[in-house]
Amino acid sequence: MTTSHQLFQAAVLVVLVFIAADYLDLLKPNTSFQMSANTPEFLEVPALTKHTATVIFIHGLGDTGYGWKPVADMFQKDAGLGHVKWVLPHAPNIPVTINQGEAMPAWYDIATFGRDKDEDEEGMMKAKRAITALIEREVATGTPLERIVLGGFSQGAVTTLLTGLTIDKKLAGLAPLSGRLPLMGKFKELMSPHATSIPIFWGHGTADPIVSFKFAEESVELLQSLGFTVVKGGKKPEGLSFNVYEGLPHSTDPFELMDLKAWLKQVIPPTD
For the annotated catalytic residues, the residue numbers are 154, 208, 250
152 membership: H or E segment, kind and range: strand 148-153
Closest of 228, 218, 225 to residue 194, by C-alpha: 228
User: How far, in Å, CA of 236 to CA of 231, rounded?
Assistant: 9
User: How far, in Å, CA of 160 to CA of 148, rounded?
Assistant: 12
Q: How far is CA 241 from CA 25, 78, 121, 231, in A?
A: 45, 22, 27, 5
Q: Is 53:84 a contact under the CB 8 Å cutoff?
A: yes
Give 184-211 as a 3 state SS string. Answer: HHHHHHHCCCCHHHCCEEEEEECCCCCC
Indicate the length of the chain as a whole number. 272
Mention every residue, 6+ apart, whose C-beta is less than 8 A from residue 129: 38
Closest of 55, 27, 29, 28 to residue 42, by C-alpha: 55
Mention every residue, 6+ apart, whose C-beta is less than 8 A from residue 214: none
Closest of 210, 221, 213 to residue 155, by C-alpha: 210
204: β partners:
244
Q: Is 206:245 a contact under the CB 8 Å cutoff?
A: yes
The CB-side HSE value for 133 (13 A sphere, CA atoms) comes to 19
